[in-house]
Structure 1
Amino acid sequence: MKHMLEYFKNLSFRKKVTIICLFVGLIPVILLGSFSYGQVRKLLIDREKTALKESLKQEVYNLNYKIDSYLNAMNLILWDEDVRNSLTHTFTNNFDMYKTYMYELDPLFTTVRSLHGEIKTLTIYTDNPIYPHGSTLRPLGDIKNLPWYREALSKTTPFFAASKDKKSLSLICRLYLSGSNYTSILYMNISYEKTFSTLSSLFNKSYGVFLENGQGEVLYSFHDFKEKDLSYALSDQSLSALKGGKLNETYVIQSVSLKNSGWKIYVYRPVSTVSEAANQITVIVILIVLLCLLLLFVLSALLSKSLVRPLEELSEDMDKLEDSEMAVRVVYDSSDELGHLVKSFRRMVSRIQYLIDEVYKSKITQQEYEMKALQAQINPHFLYNSLSLINGKAIMAEQEDISRMAQLLSTFYRTTLNKGKNLISVHDELENTRSYINIQSMMHSNSFDVVYEIDESALSLVMINLLLQPLTENAIIHGIDHKETPGRGLLTISLTRSAALLIFTVSDNGCGMQAETLTRLLTSETNGYGAHNVHQRVQLYYGAEFGLKYESKVNEGTTVWLTLPAAQ
Structure 2
Amino acid sequence: MIRALFRYFNHLRFNRKLFLSYLIVVIIPVSVLGAYAYWQSKTMLNMQMLQGLDKTVSTVSESMSRSTGQYNHLLRSMLFNGTFQKIVTNDYIDLVNLSRDLQSYLSPYVTMIANLDQDVEKVTVYAQGNVPEYGNLVQSAGRVREEWWYDEATEGTGSEIRWFYDGDIFATGTFPILFSPDRHFVYMRINEDSFFKPVSELTNEYGIVIVDQEHQILYGNYGEWGLAADDIAGLIDLQDSEILIDGKKFLLVSKQVEHAGWTIYCFVPIAQVASDADSIIRATLVIIGVCIITLLAMITIFSKTMLRRIHKLNSLMKRVEVGNTNIRISSDSKDEIGQLTNQFGHMLVRFNALIEESYRSKIKQQEAEMKALQWQINPHFLYNTLSFINWQALRNGAEDISQVVTAMARFYRTALNRGHNLITVRDELDNIMSYIEIVQVMSEYRFDVEYRFDEAVYEYSTINLILQPLAENAIKHGIKEKREGSGLLKVSARLVGETIVFDIEDNGPGMPPETADAILSMNSSGYGLKNVHERLQLLFGPSFGVSVHSKPGEGTLMRITCPQYRTGSN
Match of 1:118 in 2: 119
Match of 1:146 in 2: 147
Which deviations, in whole Å up to 9, do the C-alpha atoms of 1:410-430 show, x marking residues without a partner? 989998766653246445555
Match of 2:299 in 1: 300
Match of 1:398 in 2: none
Q: Which whole-Å CA distance do the structure 1 matches of 2:436 and 2:314 have between them?
A: 61
* Cα 1:247–1:68 shift into 2, 3 Å: farther
Is this contact kept in 2: 1:170–1:189, CA < 8 A?
yes
Q: Which whole-Å CA distance do the structure 2 matches of 1:355 and 1:340 have between them?
A: 22
- 1:329-340 equivalences in 2 (<5 Å): 333-340=332-339
Residue type of the alignment partner of 2:522: T
Match of 2:398 in 1: none
Match of 1:241 in 2: 238
Which deviations, in whole Å up to 9, do the C-alpha atoms of 1:141-196 show, x marking residues without a partner? 432211233455566747445343xx212344578999999997654443222222
Q: Percent of pairs identical after alignment?
A: 19
Q: Which whole-Å CA distance do the structure 2 matches of 1:105 and 1:302 have between them?
A: 96
Q: Which whole-Å CA distance do the structure 1 matches of 2:366 and 2:150 have between them?
A: 136
Is this contact kept in 2: 1:160–1:169, CA < 8 A?
no
Match of 1:291 in 2: 290
Match of 1:516 in 2: 513
1:280 to partner: Cα distance: 4.2
Is this contact kept in 2: 1:475–1:508, CA < 8 A?
no
Residue type of the alignment partner of 1:287: V
Q: Which whole-Å CA distance do the structure 2 matches of 1:418 and 1:349 have between them?
A: 42
1:206 to partner: Cα distance: 1.5
1:369 to partner: Cα distance: 7.2
Q: 1:162 aligns with which of 164, 168, 174?
A: 164
Match of 2:397 in 1: none
- 1:42-441 equivalences in 2 (<5 Å): 42=47, 45-46=50-51, 48-65=53-70, 68=73, 79=84, 113=114, 116-121=117-122, 141-151=142-152, 157=159, 159-164=161-166, 167-172=167-172, 187-210=187-210, 212=212, 215=213, 218=216, 220-224=218-222, 227=225, 230=227, 235=232, 238-242=235-239, 251=251, 253=253, 255=255, 257-258=257-258, 261-264=259-262, 266-270=264-268, 272=270, 277=276, 280-307=279-306, 310-311=309-310, 333-349=332-348, 351-352=350-351, 380=377, 420-423=419-422, 425-426=427-428, 427-428=430-431
Match of 1:526 in 2: 522
Is this contact kept in 2: 1:373–1:420, CA < 8 A?
no
Residue type of the alignment partner of 1:202: L
1:340 to partner: Cα distance: 0.7
Q: Secondary structure at 2:304's aligned position in 1?
A: helix
Unaligned runs of 5+ in 1: 396-402
Q: Which whole-Å CA distance do the structure 1 matches of 2:373 and 2:153 have between them?
A: 145
Tell which deviates more after alignment, 298-307 or 100-109.
100-109
1:329 to partner: Cα distance: 12
* Cα 1:203–1:317 shift into 2, 3 Å: farther
Q: Which whole-Å CA distance do the structure 1 matches of 2:113 and 2:307 have between them?
A: 94
* Cα 1:27–1:251 shift into 2, 3 Å: closer
Q: Which whole-Å CA distance do the structure 2 matches of 1:368 and 1:503 have between them?
A: 25
Match of 2:396 in 1: none
Is this contact kept in 2: 1:549–1:561, CA < 8 A?
yes
1:208 to partner: Cα distance: 1.1
Is this contact kept in 2: 1:448–1:491, CA < 8 A?
no
Is this contact kept in 2: 1:158–1:171, CA < 8 A?
no
Is this contact kept in 2: 1:29–1:289, CA < 8 A?
yes
* Cα 1:381–1:318 shift into 2, 3 Å: same
Larger Rg, first or second structure (1 or 2): 1
Q: Which whole-Å CA distance do the structure 1 matches of 2:296 and 2:162 have between them?
A: 72
Is this contact kept in 1: 2:242–2:252, CA < 8 A?
no
Which deviations, in whole Å up to 9, do the C-alpha atoms of 1:61-111 show, x marking residues without a partner? 3454455457668989973999998999669xxxx99x9999999998777
Residue type of the alignment partner of 2:293: L
Q: Which whole-Å CA distance do the structure 2 matches of 1:456 and 1:242 have between them?
A: 99
Is this contact kept in 2: 1:78–1:175, CA < 8 A?
no
Is this contact kept in 2: 1:121–1:189, CA < 8 A?
yes
Residue type of the alignment partner of 1:162: F
Q: Which whole-Å CA distance do the structure 2 matches of 1:472 and 1:539 have between them?
A: 20
Q: Which whole-Å CA distance do the structure 1 matches of 2:451 and 2:107 have between them?
A: 159
Tell which deviates more after alignment, 530-539 or 130-139.
130-139
Residue type of the alignment partner of 1:294: I
* Cα 1:348–1:533 shift into 2, 3 Å: same
Residue type of the alignment partner of 2:149: W
Give TM-score, length-normalised by structure 2: 0.63
Is this contact kept in 2: 1:207–1:269, CA < 8 A?
yes
1:201 to partner: Cα distance: 1.9
1:198 to partner: Cα distance: 1.9
Q: Secondary structure at 1:240's aligned position in 2?
A: coil
Give TM-score, length-normalised by structure 1: 0.63
Which deviations, in whole Å up to 9, do the C-alpha atoms of 1:262-309 show, x marking residues without a partner? 444535234835686566445433433333333333333333334456
Is this contact kept in 2: 1:126–1:138, CA < 8 A?
yes
Q: Secondary structure at 1:196's aligned position in 2?
A: helix
Tell which deviates more after alignment, 46-55 or 71-80.
71-80
* Cα 1:256–1:198 shift into 2, 3 Å: same
Unaligned runs of 5+ in 2: 393-400
* Cα 1:484–1:354 shift into 2, 3 Å: closer
Q: Secondary structure at 1:145's aligned position in 2?
A: coil
Is this contact kept in 2: 1:539–1:545, CA < 8 A?
yes
